[in-house]
Amino acid sequence: MKLVVTGGAGYIGSVVTSQLLDAGHEVTVVDDLSTGHADAVPQAANLIECRVHDIAPVLKGGGFDGVLHFAAKSLVGESVEKPQLYWENNVVGSYRLFEAVRDAQIPRVVFSSTAATYGEPDVSPITEDVPPRPINPYGHSKLAIDMLLSDYAKAYGFGATSLRYFNVGGARDHFGERHAVETHLIPNVLAVPAGTREKIFVFGDDYDTPDGTCIRDYLHVLDLGEAHLLALDSSEPGQHRIFNLGSGQGYSVMEVLDSARAVTGHPIPAQVKPRRAGDPTTLVASSEKAKSQLGWAPQRKLNDIVADAWAFMNL
Ligand code: UDP
């Protein structure tokens, strides 16, 4: 297929672009390089430097078969401080993009949604029929886009899929996580053996979990990418589908630290700090729907995620 990937210079977008190219697709990356890196875009992809807001001329007459939409602001804390950035970049940008998709009559859209749309549900694992109740502007913006995409798909006849990512980690060779502001647990933990941090801060050990630290569902970025390829192939005109993507297995912050100690052979000192605002106790996905309807089968475990992220940091 002839595809457009927005945000293809970012972490997940660059990995998925490399998988799409391997599968024989032709890829045009559209990225404004605000947080992404031009050298993260695989050589075989065509890179157009542009905001999603201004994508219409790229799509028009391009004969594209699908758009994978990764470009977004994605820092929860920043979204609380500066919600305008999230409504303007994420929601207004997606609106402009879907208008351009409609105008250019592109038949398929796959959108990067998030577990943050669910907020703090008191059920585990989380299925797609759990009511979305986001608790921060980042989650609000992604839920608004899911709703926009659903309305557009049904009314204007394109096939759309929202993939709700849980915690993504790992890397593929030289495509990996390189954020200027790093808030995620795995890269922060690995910064200790890499020598750029002295110790890791554990945000809260008084949660109602076996070891008192928060539980999350970590998924390898390559397994995540596979779900995008399956979603593209199975897209049906006029239908909007939502799939949760996780491994179905939860790990505590302490278990992630232990995995990193085992992978790196470094003691990785840790210091407990107060809870981080807005962190739910447990977020674990049910991915049964993706498994049964997409035929998706995630292959990689927590140790693979940490080992691949560590290999990427040591390139
Ligand atoms: N966390 C931590 N120390 C860090 C970064 C994260 O203890 O330096 C915890 C965080 O409080 C949460 C879990 O690790 O419980 C996963 O956080 P991350 O930011 O990776 O993903 P989130 O689940 O917030 O999307």
Task: Please tell me the predicted confidence (pLDDT) of residue 118.
Answer: 97
Pocket lining: 177 vs ligand 1, CB cutoff 6 Å: no
Pocket lining: 202 vs ligand 1, CB cutoff 6 Å: yes
Pocket lining: 115 vs ligand 1, CB cutoff 6 Å: no
Distance 184 CA to ligand 1 centre (A): 6
Beta bridge partners of residue 242, listed in sequence order: 162
Contact 28, 45 (CB under 8 A): yes
Distance 273 CA to ligand 1 centre (A): 12
Q: Whose Cα sits closest to atom 6 in ligand 1?
A: 185
Distance 58 CA to ligand 1 centre (A): 37
Residue 277 has pLDDT above 90, yes or no: no
Pocket lining: 105 vs ligand 1, CB cutoff 6 Å: no
Give the mean pLDDT of 273-289.
93
Which of 177, 188, 203 for mutating ligand 1's site (highest number of atoms within 8 Å of CB)?
203
Average pLDDT, the chain: 97
Burial of 145-161, coded b for 16+ CB within 10 Å and e otherwise, reads bbebbbebbeebebbbb
Rounded Cα gap, residues 217 and 185, in angstroms: 12
245: nearest Cα among 264, 226, 266: 226
Contact 112, 163 (CB under 8 A): yes
From residue 153, alpha-carbon distances to 33, 66, 107, 244 in Å are 28, 13, 9, 19
Task: Please tell me the predicted confidence (pLDDT) of residue 179.
Answer: 81
Task: Please tell me the predicted confidence (pLDDT) of residue 106.
Answer: 98
Sequence-ordered strand ranges (E) for the chain: 2-6, 26-31, 46-49, 66-69, 108-114, 159-165, 167-169, 200-203, 215-216, 218-220, 240-245, 251-252, 270-273, 282-283
Give the mean pLDDT of 253-264.
98
Pocket lining: 239 vs ligand 1, CB cutoff 6 Å: no
Residue 141 has pLDDT above 90, yes or no: yes
- pLDDT band at residue 170, thresholds of 50, 70 and 90? very high
pTM, two decimals, is 0.97
- pLDDT band at residue 279, thresholds of 50, 70 and 90? confident
Within a 10 A sphere around the Cβ of 124, how many other Cβ atoms?
15
Task: Please tell me the predicted confidence (pLDDT) of residue 278.
Answer: 80
Rounded Cα gap, residues 17 and 4, in angstroms: 9
Contact 130, 212 (CB under 8 A): no
Give the mean pLDDT of 122-151.
97
